[in-house]
Chain A
Amino acid sequence: MSALWNHLAQTPLLGISLTLACFCLGDWIYKRCNQSPLANPVLFSLVSVSLVLWLTGTDYYVYFDGAKYIHFLLGPATVALAVPLYKNLHHVKAALLPIIVTIILGCLFAIASGVGIAYLLGGSEETLLSLAPKSVTAPVAMGLSEIIGGTPSLTAVLVILCGITGAVLGGTVLTLVGVKDKKARGLAVGIASHGIGTARKLNVHETAGAFSGLGMGLNAIATAILLPLLMMLYMMIQ
């Protein structure tokens, strides 16, 4: 049995099938729960794939060697976000200035709150630096983490956890503070929870999804500019 598993693990088939099987099950549960954000299919898939790998003693890199074909599609999917954005362009044009101001303030707030909370609770310097770009889409966050002296692979993990947090609880928080407008809801989730938040928003409403994609893209650009500047300021003060 284990010889068969090891043989199959040599082909991409196992990683791809395992990912699809867990995701289909997660998606089925998500739909059964009336698309409740608490039944987030990404969260379900992460836990179940990890469990299977752990139980079978399969190395992550063996799994990823197959699953990378799914991972690769993230690139073209990100490019495709221009389509819902274009369809909602009239909304964007009508609120261009509020969007830009919200992005800049949200970007600074995301960095300050993450680093601030971890600092108050005694996080190490490595953790603080790796946390700073946590709200930005993974490739940008990893690049920034390296520039400011963090650990890129730790940053990648933190980025994904932030995405899941926003996808699962973001909607509830926005309802609690009384933000009902789809555009504001989408933009806020995109700023804090990048692609995973955007995937959830696209699922709920096209306009919210478009604004979330916009928040993700613009916050990536804002953070790429502002975070290195903040770091320079900090070094000057010290």
Chain B
Amino acid sequence: MLVYFFLLCALQLLGEVIVYTTGLPIPGPVIGMAILLLILILKNGMPEGLDQAASGILKYLSLLFVPAGVGVTLHFNLIAAEWLPISAAIVVATLLTIAFSGLVMKFLGKLS
């Protein structure tokens, strides 16, 4: 399993190298994700250890957002100054986007 955890890190590393050399505006980990998906498709099978390593880390995905999230406190004043447009844009627009995207997908799914 450890070797698969290394694989996850190595693919992120590869992603970062690709971003650095090509200047793509996509983060290294997202490119690493795409490469891993490609490898799995080409290999046409999932090693059990990789499944375990991935499930292990994804089980705690929520936890990993906490340190960056606490950074919200740094911008308290900035947000307080324009709290109405900011909170409305975040809450209303996010929920509308979710409803809109869900309905589009539902509608298109019925067509095909």
Contacts and interface: CB of A to CB of B under 8 A. Distances in A.
Interface of A: 15, 19-20, 22-23, 27, 40-42, 45-46, 49-50, 53-54, 60, 63-64, 67-68, 70-71, 73-87, 89, 95, 97-99, 101-102, 105-106, 109-110, 113-119, 121-124, 127, 131, 134-135, 137-140, 143-144, 147, 153-154, 156-158, 160-166, 169-170, 173-174, 176-179, 181, 183-185, 187-189, 191-193, 195-196, 198-200, 202-203, 209, 213, 215, 217, 220-221, 224
Given A53-B70, A162-B94, A169-B95, A71 B62 contact: no
A60 B74 contact: yes
B32 to A, nearest CB: 4
Interface residues of B, number: 71
Interface of B: 5, 8-9, 11-12, 15, 25-30, 32-34, 36-37, 40-41, 46, 50-51, 53-55, 57-58, 61-75, 78-79, 82, 84-86, 88-106, 108-109, 111-112
Contact of A177 (B29, B68, B74, B103): B103
Contacts, number: 320
Interface residues of B: mostly helix, strand, loop or mixed? helix
